[in-house]
Amino acid sequence: MTGGAASAAQKPTRDADRDRHRGDDVSDLPETADVVVVGGGIAGVSTAFFLGEAGVRSVVVLERGTIGGGATGRAAGVMTLQAAREPELRFQVESLAVHERLREELGTDLTPVGSLLLWTVEEADAARRRAAMHEAAGVRLEILEPDELRYRFPDLTADDVAVATFSARDPWATPLATVERLADAARARGAIIREGCEVTGLELEGERVRGVAVRDGTIATPTVVNAAGAWARSLAAPAGLRIPVAARKRQVFVLDAAGTDPAAGPFIEEEARDFYCMKRPDGVIMVCGQPPGEAYDTAAEWGYLDDALAPTIRRYPALRHARVTDAWAGVRAVTPDGGPILGTMPAVPGYVMAGGLGAQGFARGPLVGRLVSELITTGRASLDLSAYRPDRFARAGRGR
Ligand SMILES: Cc1cc2nc3c(=O)[nH]c(=O)nc-3n(C[C@H](O)[C@H](O)[C@H](O)COP(=O)(O)OP(=O)(O)OC[C@H]3O[C@@H](n4cnc5c(N)ncnc54)[C@H](O)[C@@H]3O)c2cc1C
């Protein structure tokens, strides 16, 4: 395996000059903060960014590894408005609007390519219902019949496809670069971001948050945000808090697409299959494979390569001799109902969840940060978050 151009764009590694933050002296941590955010992924860093925008000056982000080193920097970076239900669609539309704002303000590489969802004969009615739901919500989702699909995407083999739904606005962005830009912007607004700094405990006064413990001391704060991704449960457990988030591993493989025409295409997914791919000029990103049970390791599992290659080559036969240039894995935070966990833990005032972002967490992360910041600064979020309340799970809460 060699690292090609694709890995330069996607792989979760950092430029040498980015490592300047890595060695920051954690002994210069402040003794107090208005808000401490645990986790330097897209959720935590976005929270700090929007808290800064709201005028909260004393914000500290503590990341035990490096910014984006969890799931965020390992994500494929695709975003889609093709939601199955209306509340999800609203969340996705607003998420995309926040990313579009970040492109304008921070210069992220958000690039519209469109997303194509392929449906079989049995699924065709469901596809039409979905398009109708989008139309009712004012979100454009085109229905492409087979002839039009062939005409618009001539390099795609889709003989078995009865109908496709196409959302032209859907983009990708490079996750690591996005979160690093957000981190720089949060710092510019006054946030202190410390890498290599693990939070080891929560300090309480009665039921209320009083601070967090790190290796060599504590930071006093009335508000802690748990943005620890797949590690949210273990972060909360020592304080007796139960957060029903499971760690689920996911694989990414990259193919060298050099010489194929066209060199780029939409994000492609099949309704019935746990797989997607996206043809970019710098490589074909293929995402598949979720080993059963919980896993925290991020080693690529090559046994899944065929699960990624077979459906990709079926759709793009011209890629059958393409070289695999890269592979990696990451760990997503998954909740029992698939929705994020957002808001204050009722049993512990001052303990705010920004977690369980799951499969679309890179897309949703900046909006999650904005909503959590609104909750902290005004007590209300601008979107209805009742479906994502931390106490919606019977077992979530404090104590046994
Ligand atoms: C292979 C793969 C592909 C994906 N593709 C996409 C995609 O195309 N589009 C999309 O929208 N989403 C995608 N996702 C999902 C997305 O990456 C995640 O949902 C999202 O990045 C989660 O962000 P987060 O900030 O919640 O968590 P993370 O990015 O995991 O950040 C949590 C951070 O908390 C830190 N932490 C944990 N415990 C502590 C502690 N005690 N002290 C200090 N720090 C701590 C961790 O080190 C970590 O950096 C993908 C995920 C994977 C794994």
273 CA distance to ligand 1 middle (Å): 23
Distance of CA 277 to the CA centre of its chain: 16
Residue 4: what pLDDT?
34
Question: Does 277 reside within a domain?
Answer: no
Closest atom of ligand 1 to CA, residue 76:
8
Structural domain ending residue among the three candidates 168, 186, 211: 168
- Whether 171 lines ligand 1, by a CB cut-off of 6 Å, is no
Residue 314, phi then psi, degrees to nearest 5? -60, -40
**CATH number for the domain including 190?**
3.50.50.60
Q: 68 and 196 share a domain?
A: yes
Instruction: Show the domain range for 127.
Output: 115-168
Residue of 170, 166, 126 whose CA lies nearest to 145: 166
Contact present, 189 and 49 (Cβ < 8 Å): yes
Question: Does 181 reside within a domain?
Answer: yes
70 CA distance to ligand 1 middle (Å): 5
Q: How far apart are CA 272 and CA 49, in angstroms?
A: 37
- Whether 71 lines ligand 1, by a CB cut-off of 6 Å, is yes
Question: What is the number of structural domains in the chain?
Answer: 2
Q: 343 and 238 share a domain?
A: yes
DSSP 124: H
- Whether 334 lines ligand 1, by a CB cut-off of 6 Å, is no
Q: 179 and 51 share a domain?
A: yes
Closest atom of ligand 1 to CA, residue 198:
42
- Whether 369 lines ligand 1, by a CB cut-off of 6 Å, is no
Task: Give residue 118's identity as a one-letter amino acid code.
Answer: L
Question: Does 81 reside within a domain?
Answer: no
Closest atom of ligand 1 to CA, residue 250:
1
Residue of 381, 378, 372 whose CA lies nearest to 354: 372
DSSP 189: T
Q: 182 and 56 share a domain?
A: yes
Question: Does 276 reside within a domain?
Answer: no
The number of beta carbons lying within 10 Å of the beta carbon of residue 391 is 13
Indicate which residue's Cα is closest to atom 37 of ligand 1. Answer: 228
Structural domain ending residue among the three candidates 168, 187, 206: 168
What's the length of the chain? 400
DSSP 78: B
71 CA distance to ligand 1 middle (Å): 3
Question: Does 7 reside within a domain?
Answer: no
Q: 157 and 197 share a domain?
A: no
Distance of CA 270 to the CA centre of its chain: 20
Q: 181 and 163 share a domain?
A: no
Residue 272: what pLDDT?
79
Q: pLDDT tens digits for the chain (400 residues)? A: 333 333 334 555 544 444 444 444 556 899 999 999 999 999 999 999 999 999 998 999 999 999 999 999 999 999 999 999 999 999 999 999 999 999 999 999 999 999 999 999 999 999 999 999 999 999 999 999 999 999 999 999 999 999 999 999 999 999 999 999 999 999 999 999 999 999 999 999 999 999 999 988 999 999 999 999 999 999 999 888 899 999 999 999 999 988 888 888 999 998 778 899 999 888 999 999 888 899 999 999 999 999 999 999 999 999 999 999 999 999 999 999 999 999 999 899 999 999 999 999 999 999 999 999 999 999 999 999 999 999 898 655 554 3
Question: Does 124 reside within a domain?
Answer: yes
398 CA distance to ligand 1 middle (Å): 24
- Whether 360 lines ligand 1, by a CB cut-off of 6 Å, is yes
Ligand 1 pocket mutation, candidates 46, 335, 353, 362, criterion most atoms within 8 A of CB: 362
The number of beta carbons lying within 10 Å of the beta carbon of residue 282 is 20
Note the helical H segments in 197-283. 232-236
Q: How far apart are CA 255 and CA 351, in angstroms?
A: 43
Q: Cα–Cα distances in Å, from 304 out to 106, 203, 246, 308, 323?
A: 36, 43, 21, 7, 16
β-pairing, 275-280 with 351-355? unpaired
Q: 181 and 153 share a domain?
A: no
* Residue corresponding to tokens 């093709």: 82
Q: How far apart are CA 231 and CA 199, in angstroms?
A: 11
Q: 188 and 212 share a domain?
A: yes
Contact present, 114 and 165 (Cβ < 8 Å): no
Question: Does 328 reside within a domain?
Answer: no
- Whether 330 lines ligand 1, by a CB cut-off of 6 Å, is yes
Phi/psi region, residue 366 (left: phi>0; alpha: psi -120 to 50; beta: rest), is: alpha
Ligand 1 pocket mutation, candidates 24, 42, 216, criterion most atoms within 8 A of CB: 42
Retrieve residue 55's tokens: 């005028």
* Residue corresponding to tokens 């000059």: 17
Residue 194: what pLDDT?
97
Q: 120 and 233 share a domain?
A: no
Closest atom of ligand 1 to CA, residue 359:
15
Q: 238 and 132 share a domain?
A: no
Look at the pTM and tell me if it is higher than 0.75: yes
Q: 206 and 222 share a domain?
A: yes
Structural domain ending residue among the three candidates 134, 168, 202: 168
- Whether 211 lines ligand 1, by a CB cut-off of 6 Å, is no
Residue 28: what pLDDT?
82
Phi/psi region, residue 263 (left: phi>0; alpha: psi -120 to 50; beta: rest), is: alpha
248 CA distance to ligand 1 middle (Å): 11
Q: 237 and 346 share a domain?
A: yes
- Sign of the alpha-carbon dihedral angle for 220, 225, 228, 233: positive
Retrieve residue 53's tokens: 């925008």
Indicate which residue's Cα is closest to atom 27 of ligand 1. Answer: 229
Question: Does 202 reside within a domain?
Answer: yes
